């Protein structure tokens, strides 16, 4: 049995700030969040403290200052290598259970047009979902073991996918604590903001609409040059073409909100009962048709094109995305 020292553990201060009760608790400041996450990343925290800290944040919900402080600390401790050629960062950590991960084709559509995209993610704990890794494998693309491999893929194909455990195993370990808690933790949010390649443009998504403003404000605090976040289908960066979509953005420290109208009038597509991941390649190669899938692909790519400054309005961006789809190299995959 481990004896507890009579002196207070340094991390206890941060647990106490969050857990003093309804009247005494308060959010962490940017600096406090940065210091706390730095201790976690350096393994200077006891497991019981980590669990208490994460769940107190889960109940309270993380603030923009906390999210920005956590992100800054992770970047400092990971010392990630630079991938200067990456233009667009694309986090993917939710998985899909109602519709296929069409967003992977959106990213590839951008890459095929010459826009370098780094996608990063991991398999979650839910077996009823299709994850990005499943889609990447089905499309015949490699899973990168490290950033050197990712850099080579960016050079050759303008697209790379790297799992979280291959560049930040510490975060993967914390993320997997969901098996013990039964709840997500702030690490799920942090991973969407991390931007491991330091790309100038960030695509982000949320499952809960309230987090869009938190992501936007965190981007301002971290001085991200360009960022767009919206409520994605299933929590992934994928536009639901059946619904209006509010996109929260940041461009050079200026925040904005833009409403994108639904791509279908009074249409609600049903859940995909088959969820056959091979349909992604079939759609890309023109071997099948899927009204919803095609709209999700082009609609999501349109938001990215608008973020990248390639279009001056949602309508123009949608038209551009559809043109890219019609010009896509259908033999570009599985080659």
Q: Are the C-beta atoms of 66 and 28 separated by less than 8 Å? A: yes
Tokens coding 14: 């941060």
Query: Domains of the chain, with CATH numbers?
Result: 12-78 (1.20.970.10), 88-327 (3.40.1030.10)
pLDDT for 266: 79
- Rounded distance, CA 265 to CA 243, Å? 9
Torsions phi, psi for 86 (to 5 deg) = -70, 130
pTM: 0.95
Closest residue by Cα to residue 234 from 80, 104, 62, 86:
104
Question: Which residues contact residue 206 at a Cβ distance below 8 angstroms, ignoring those fewer than 6 apart?
Answer: 192, 212, 215, 229, 230, 231, 232, 235
- Rounded distance, CA 37 to CA 188, Å? 14
- Rounded distance, CA 332 to CA 311, Å? 25
pLDDT for 67: 97
Question: Judging by beta carbons within 10 Å of its beta carbon (0-12, 13-18, 19+), is residue 79 exposed, middle or buried?
Answer: exposed
Looking up tokens 């981007």 gives 219
Question: Which residues contact residue 91 at a Cβ distance below 8 angstroms, ignoring those fewer than 6 apart?
Answer: 119, 120, 121, 191, 192, 193, 194, 203, 204, 205, 237
Tokens coding 160: 């790379």
Cβ atoms within 10 Å, residue 225: 13
Tens-binned pLDDT, residue by residue, of the chain (335 aa): 445 556 899 999 999 999 998 888 999 999 999 999 999 999 999 999 999 999 999 999 999 999 999 999 999 998 787 787 899 999 999 999 999 999 999 999 999 999 999 999 998 776 789 999 999 999 999 999 999 999 999 999 999 999 999 999 999 999 999 889 888 889 999 999 999 999 999 999 998 888 999 999 999 999 999 999 999 999 999 999 999 999 999 999 999 999 999 999 877 899 989 999 999 999 999 999 999 999 999 999 999 999 999 999 999 999 999 999 999 999 988 65
Instruction: Give the CA count within 13 Å in the CB-facing half-sphere of 238.
Output: 28
- Rounded distance, CA 250 to CA 248, Å? 7
Torsions phi, psi for 73 (to 5 deg) = -65, -40
Closest residue by Cα to residue 257 from 297, 289, 230:
230
pLDDT for 205: 96
pLDDT for 22: 81
């Amino acid at each position: 049995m481990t004896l507890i020292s009579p002196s207070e553990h340094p991390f206890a201060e941060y647990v106490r700030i969050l857990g003093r009760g309804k009247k005494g608790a308060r959010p962490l400041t940017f600096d406090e969040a940065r210091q706390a996450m730095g201790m976690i990343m350096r393994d200077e925290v006891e497991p019981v403290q980590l669990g208490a800290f994460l769940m107190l944040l889960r109940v309270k919900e993380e603030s923009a200052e906390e999210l920005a402080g956590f992100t800054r600390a992770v970047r400092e401790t990971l010392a990630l290598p630079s991938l200067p050629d990456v233009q667009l960062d694309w986090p993917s950590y939710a998985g899909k259970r109602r519709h296929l991960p069409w967003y992977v084709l959106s990213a590839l559509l951008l890459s095929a047009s010459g826009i370098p995209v780094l996608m990063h993610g991991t398999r979650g704990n839910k077996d009823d979902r299709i994850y990005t890794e499943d889609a990447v494998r089905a499309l015949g693309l490699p899973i990168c073991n490290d950033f050197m491999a990712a850099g080579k893929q960016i050079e050759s194909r303008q697209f790379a996918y790297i799992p979280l455990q291959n560049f930040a195993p510490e975060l993967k370990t914390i993320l997997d604590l969901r098996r013990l808690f039964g709840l997500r933790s702030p690490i799920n949010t942090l991973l969407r903001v991390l931007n491991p390649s330091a790309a100038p443009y960030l695509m982000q998504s949320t499952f809960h609409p309230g987090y869009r403003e938190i992501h936007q404000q965190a981007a301002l605090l971290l001085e991200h040059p360009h960022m767009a976040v919206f409520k994605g289908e299933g929590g992934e960066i994928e536009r639901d073409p059946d619904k209006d979509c509010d996109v929260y953005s940041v461009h050079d420290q200026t925040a904005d909100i833009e409403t994108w109208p639904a791509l279908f009038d009074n249409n609600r597509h049903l859940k995909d009962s088959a969820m056959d991941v091979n349909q992604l390649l079939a759609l890309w190669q023109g071997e099948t048709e899927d009204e919803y899938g095609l709209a999700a692909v082009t609609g999501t790519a349109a938001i990215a094109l608008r973020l990248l400054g390639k279009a001056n309005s949602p309508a123009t961006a949608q038209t551009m995305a559809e043109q890219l789809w019609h010009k896509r190299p259908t033999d570009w995959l599985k080659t």
